Amino acid sequence: MPDSSYKKVAAVVGVGPGLGASVARRFAAGYAVALVARRAEYLNQVAAEIQKEGHEALAVPADAGNSAEIANAFKTIRERLGDPEVMVYNAAAGPFGSLADISPEQFENSMKINALGAFMSAKECAPAMIVRRHGVMLFTGATAGVKAGARSAAFGPGNFAKRGLAQSLARDLGPKGIHVAWINVDGSIDIPGRKIPGKTSEDMLRPDAIAESYWHLAHQDQSAWTMELDLRPFKEKF
Amino acid sequence: MPDSSYKKVAAVVGVGPGLGASVARRFAAGYAVALVARRAEYLNQVAAEIQKEGHEALAVPADAGNSAEIANAFKTIRERLGDPEVMVYNAAAGPFGSLADISPEQFENSMKINALGAFMSAKECAPAMIVRRHGVMLFTGATAGVKAGARSAAFGPGNFAKRGLAQSLARDLGPKGIHVAWINVDGSIDIPGRKIPGKTSEDMLRPDAIAESYWHLAHQDQSAWTMELDLRPFKEKF
Amino acid sequence: MPDSSYKKVAAVVGVGPGLGASVARRFAAGYAVALVARRAEYLNQVAAEIQKEGHEALAVPADAGNSAEIANAFKTIRERLGDPEVMVYNAAAGPFGSLADISPEQFENSMKINALGAFMSAKECAPAMIVRRHGVMLFTGATAGVKAGARSAAFGPGNFAKRGLAQSLARDLGPKGIHVAWINVDGSIDIPGRKIPGKTSEDMLRPDAIAESYWHLAHQDQSAWTMELDLRPFKEKF
Amino acid sequence: MPDSSYKKVAAVVGVGPGLGASVARRFAAGYAVALVARRAEYLNQVAAEIQKEGHEALAVPADAGNSAEIANAFKTIRERLGDPEVMVYNAAAGPFGSLADISPEQFENSMKINALGAFMSAKECAPAMIVRRHGVMLFTGATAGVKAGARSAAFGPGNFAKRGLAQSLARDLGPKGIHVAWINVDGSIDIPGRKIPGKTSEDMLRPDAIAESYWHLAHQDQSAWTMELDLRPFKEKF
């Protein structure tokens, strides 16, 4: 029986106007939410909106690809809110391009944001979760983590690495009571204000709908946990 | 915008004291439930329990591996309750055994119950769902559908076939508004009254917990549907 | 150390003018070859060509989807040539079509030719291979066995089943010295005399090239066996 | 029809006493071989052995995880031998350990040696191969690139990344005439002089046997290329 006397904290790493903000808003209904991303101004705006709804939210600016910044961000979260019960790693980075297009620096950057930041975020959260024998880590992935296309010479390996990490963590931490899942968000997310030529909103994933499945995952009974899950619009080819 | 003026019907094919009964009970909260399985006596008992809770339930005895019986069962369901909005194919059959152990008849029987019955159930439900542009088909699978072990010479191919069928249906019917998903139930289900040597209830999947994820799947927003999902106890090796 | 005093026999089940004939011709260089398929006339013609090259070949007409005929065919092979050292299961059956197009009979037929015939052929060959602690079973698959498309409602499940069978056999029989492999032939085979609209021979797999990889598989050192392999034209999208 | 007037060069990145040396020796039969690895002394010894057999070999010391050193190494190879026709990326790095065991530096190092070095090696070789419309890139992988275990928190993501890279390259470069393949070496390699407790040589992969399949891959007809292949001892559990 896990101890539930502590305040519940959810940390979302990678918060932009799409999925990150939706996940933060959804989890604010049951958790004090920490928002981690590079752009302080945007984070503050989302945090303020959440607070206006009467929930607790903390903006913690940090670059997901920088391991020292991530370590600092989680130190701040622990001090200000407490140990995260839920950690959602939602940071991702392109660019798209084939071998000829991608520089070594871009390749390394993809590995840092897609994989190293995920590793660091897990490393920062795991110890307290292991002590409590309870916790959730969700990693936002993409189809490029299952099947890497010709123009995914950097994004593909980064997403594969993130998926491999999630699998390793699930096998390590599951028996310790920590639910690790990797979500393949297969399709374009319908980000408010963004238009994709040739796509209507019916062709895209609504970020609030994705967040609903994240919430479901985070609250599955420990006798029936999901490790991998795909999410795609009903019209999406796959 | 799908038409929702009709009475909602959920058909569960394969109802035993484990997952099938839990799924039927869970969906009874929002649907008139049809129960299809071989053992009439047991079906009547589950149906009676559901009715006692004030919900609608219909027992329809039929052998999942017999295509004529499945066709008849769905005819009965349509006449007595209406077109199913949700179809859960939960029938499965062993036996376990290696190539040397399994007879051709056992192999064929595994194909019939694991695959042909699933095909028939989908075929019976699809036309009305296509007209409504709305519907859900969930197929209970197992790890043997992803990785077939040495003693899975019949169960493995049957489960692979069921998974291949679900994929084909998802690609065909998704754009027509029908949500098809395959669930890998990876582990032993904690069936009331059953003891598995060396396993405590902590090592097994609670059928009600599985049913909760089936319910979630059946009600995902059509912008973010799951096609494949695994479910396993937190302690399960995989 | 396996006994190699016996005459080496290779049985090819499923011999048409494409891959089956190429495999038979390739293996005739080192094995007495048994050819199993429905069309006696065509089998006799291929057997005669092989014999003209100075190799041993035997035509054994049988329907791959009929378990009694397959059992009889292998009885004939054992009596006339000896126990097969290599068994290549190359039979496959469509038809292509979505759920609405495929009848239950067509579905069952796909399961019989793609899966039951493979099971029977393995069952007939395994006992002698186990005694010798040596043997090879190769199963010709297709991408539909990994990813079943919308029009693969029968072909997909049949191919999934064949792949699940091969996996189960590999795990069962590998440690007994029998090399089992499944080959994903991903693309159109350039069958002599067949034209596919919009495709040049550069877009297709040359059957002799496929047969070369089958030969390689059949002769891999037992310290480094392949279980799954894909083969596709350099231009093929995947 | 590719131009074959040039001298054929094979570059092997990652040469230790196991697979790398076997691959180099095998390809020396048809190619001038460049050997790239950190340990100059060992490289010189392997190169000398190959030269003694009458073949051409060049030792090029470089650290596979350092992109500048890899760029320099390929510059040297081009100047001294010519453009590689075959590139085998065989470098790999652990360490094994779970999330708690692995430092951020170790994680980054795994990404560099397993993925960045592979990216750099491909980037250096691709332009000349594209001009010739001919070339081969083989990437040595491991089961950790398909299924990452609890103690694979660094090795797993690195191997996943390498596999994702190979997939992306195959889709990009295949239609340009360059054959890219990823090989899952699933098991322990029987390295001369190394003893693994509880394992006999029968439980391990012979490096010369692996190299034989690399040779086969490198010479498949372009109408039937393999992208992914597993290799394991007949006794290996999988």
For position B193, what pLDDT does the model report? 86
Q: What region does C14 belong to: left with phi over 0, alpha with psi -120 to 50, or beta? A: left
| Per-residue pLDDT tens digits for D85-126 | 999 999 998 889 999 999 999 999 999 999 999 999 999 999
Q: Which helix (H) or strand (E) holds C66?
A: none
- On whether the CB atoms of residues C36 and C58 are closer than 8 A, the answer is no
**Chain C residue with the nearest C-alpha to that of B111:** C111
Share of chain A above pLDDT 70, in %: 97
Beta bridge partners of A11: A34, A87
Q: How far is CA C162 from the centre of its chain?
A: 11
For position C149, what pLDDT does the model report? 98
For position C28, what pLDDT does the model report? 97
B84 prior amide bond cis, ω within 30 = no
- On whether the CB atoms of residues D78 and D97 are closer than 8 A, the answer is no
pTM of the model: 0.96
D148 and A157: CB-CB below 8 Å? no
For position B6, what pLDDT does the model report? 67
Q: Which residue has the higher pLDDT, D58 or A193?
A: D58
Tell me the mean pLDDT in the region B141-149. 97
Q: Is the pLDDT of residue C4 over 90?
A: no
Q: Is the pLDDT of residue D4 over 70?
A: no
**Chain B residue with the nearest C-alpha to that of A135:** B234
For position D5, what pLDDT does the model report? 60
Interface test with D, best of C167, C176, C223, C229 (most D CBs within 10 A): C223
Tell me the mean pLDDT in the region B151-162. 98
DSSP state letters, chain B: -----SPPEEEEES--TTHHHHHHHHHTTTSEEEEEES-HHHHHHHHHHHHHTT--EEEEE--TT-HHHHHHHHHHHHHHT-S-SEEEE-------B-TTT--HHHHHHHHIIIIIHHHHHHHHHHHHHHHHT-EEEEEEE-GGGTS--TTBTTHHHHHHHHHHHHHHHHHHHGGGTEEEEEEEE-S-B--TT---TT--GGGSB-HHHHHHHHHHHHT--TTSB-SEEEEB-TT---
C226 and D231: CB-CB below 8 Å? yes
DSSP state letters, D108-165: HHHHIIIIIHHHHHHHHHHHHHHHHT-EEEEEEE-GGGTS--TTBTTHHHHHHHHHHH
Chain B residues with a Cβ under 8 Å from any Cβ in chain C:
67, 98-100, 102, 104, 107-108, 111, 115-116, 119-120, 122-123, 126-127, 144-145, 147-153, 156-165, 167-169, 171-173
For position A6, what pLDDT does the model report? 67
Return the domain boundaries, chain B: 9-231
Tell me the mean pLDDT in the region A119-126. 98
Give chain D's end-to-end CA distance (angstroms, integer): 41
Does the domain at residues A9-231 carry the CATH identifier 3.30.230.10?
no
Q: Which two tokens stand for residue C162?
A: 């064949």
Which residue from D102, D147, D160 is facing A161, i.e. has the nearest CB? D160
Mean pLDDT of chain B: 95
Beta bridge partners of A166: none
Q: Is the pLDDT of residue C2 over 50?
A: no
Instruction: Tell me which long-range contacts D141-146 makes (C-beta under 8 A, separation of at least 24).
Output: D141/D166, D141/D182, D141/D183, D141/D184, D141/D185, D142/D92, D142/D184, D142/D185, D142/D186, D143/D184, D143/D186, D143/D238, D144/A164, D145/A164, D145/D182, D145/D184, D146/D184
For position C93, what pLDDT does the model report? 85
For position B192, what pLDDT does the model report? 86
Give the integer Cα–Cα distance in Å for B50 and B55: 6
A238 and B175: CB-CB below 8 Å? no
Q: How many helices (H) and strands (E) does chain D have?
A: 7, 7
* Chain D contact set for C238 (CB, 8 A): 171, 227
For position B117, what pLDDT does the model report? 98
For position A93, what pLDDT does the model report? 85
Give the integer Cα–Cα distance in Å for D14 and D115: 13
Which residue from B174, B223, B237 is facing A206, i.e. has the nearest CB? B223
Min Cα separation A155/chain D (Å): 9
Q: Is the pLDDT of residue D215 over 80?
A: yes
- On whether the CB atoms of residues A27 and A2 are closer than 8 A, the answer is no
Share of chain B above pLDDT 90, in %: 92
Min Cα separation D99/chain C (Å): 31
Min Cα separation A238/chain B (Å): 7
Q: Is the ipTM of this complex over 0.90?
A: yes
Give the integer Cα–Cα distance in Å for D30 and D7: 10
Q: Which helix (H) or strand (E) holds A35?
A: strand A32-37
Q: Nearest 5°: phi and psi at D186?
A: -100, 85
| Per-residue pLDDT tens digits for D182-199 | 999 999 999 988 889 999
A149 and D171: CB-CB below 8 Å? yes
| Per-residue pLDDT tens digits for C133-159 | 999 999 999 999 999 999 999 999 999
Beta bridge partners of D97: D152
Which residue from C98, C99, C104 is facing B116, i.e. has the nearest CB? C104
DSSP state letters, C14-27: S--TTHHHHHHHHH
Q: Which residue has the higher pLDDT, A3 or C189?
A: C189
The 10 Å Cβ neighbour count of residue C63 is 17
Tell me the mean pLDDT in the region C172-183. 98
Q: Is the pLDDT of residue A168 over 90?
A: yes
Q: Read off the pLDDT band of D7 (50, 70, 90).
A: confident
Tell me the mean pLDDT in the region A68-85. 98
Give the integer Cα–Cα distance in Å for D54 and D45: 15
Q: Read off the pLDDT band of B93 (50, 70, 90).
A: confident
